[in-house]
Amino acid sequence: MSDFLHVLTDHWSLFGEGFGNTVKLFLIAAVGCLILGVLLGAFRVSPIPALRWFGATYVNIVRNTPLTLVFAFLVFAAPKLDVNFDYFTAAAVALTVYTSAFICEVVRSGVNTVAPGQAEAARALGLSFAQVLTEVVLPQALRAMVPPLMSVLIAMLKNTTVAAGFSVVEAGAIPSYMAEFGEPQFYVLLWIVIGFLVLIAPLVVLQRFLERKLAVAR
């Protein structure tokens, strides 16, 4: 037990930096993918064919591309196109671009749970498509969107570990650094698991809170 505890206490700064960067990466990418994902979801249900085509094409290409390849493109290919990011920014952009495709599908499926008569009645009152979506459809769709939306965000939190392979010092990079100190990898990995459980717990609590609040609003 003492060896297990010493793995954390003797290298607290490394764990702190790693999980600190993980949290920063997650928060930045979460905001970005929610904005982009909702916008793409609006495109998917738009009455304009070109926007629907763009949304569907984006989702089909990005969702079926491995996240590692998205990272590799931004880190290695983008500089050849004179688009330069530092490693942390490239990781945030990669997670945003990749996860927004899944957020888009959550939004689209949530919108489809709302009875078509709701949108038709809103349009009959003279509301524009944007007003119908933001004031009538999305507030109702949110009830169905919360569980899958939180699942996507939790998956994205775990996907931040891919950044370790592209020189970002976050939680996934801790084992390689700890190997240099000769620390038992089993204990290191166990602490990382505990760290992710601590980070995921607030998201689970938030999901249950939102589900209860929206259920009361029915």
SS (H, E, C) the chain: CHHHHHHHHCCHHHHHHHHHHHHHHHHHHHHHHHHHHHHHHHHHCCCCHHHHHHHHHHHHHHHCCCHHHHHHHHHHHHHHHCCCCCHHHHHHHHHHHHHHHHHHHHHHHHHHCCCHHHHHHHHHCCCCHHHHHHHHHHHHHHHHHHHHHHHHHHHHHHHHHHHHHHCCCCHHHHHHHHHCCCCCHHHHHHHHHHHHHHHHHHHHHHHHHHHHHHHHCC
Residue extents of the structural domains in the chain = 19-170
pLDDT at 196: 94
* pLDDT for residue 218: 45
**What tens digit of pLDDT does each residue of 144-172 get?**
888 899 999 999 999 999 988 887 888 88
Treating both helix axes as pointing N-terminal to C-terminal, what angle do 138-159 and 185-216 enclose, rounded to 10 degrees? 180
**Which residue positions in the chain have pLDDT lower than 50?**
217-218
CATH number, domain 19-170: 1.10.3720.10
pLDDT of residue 50: 93
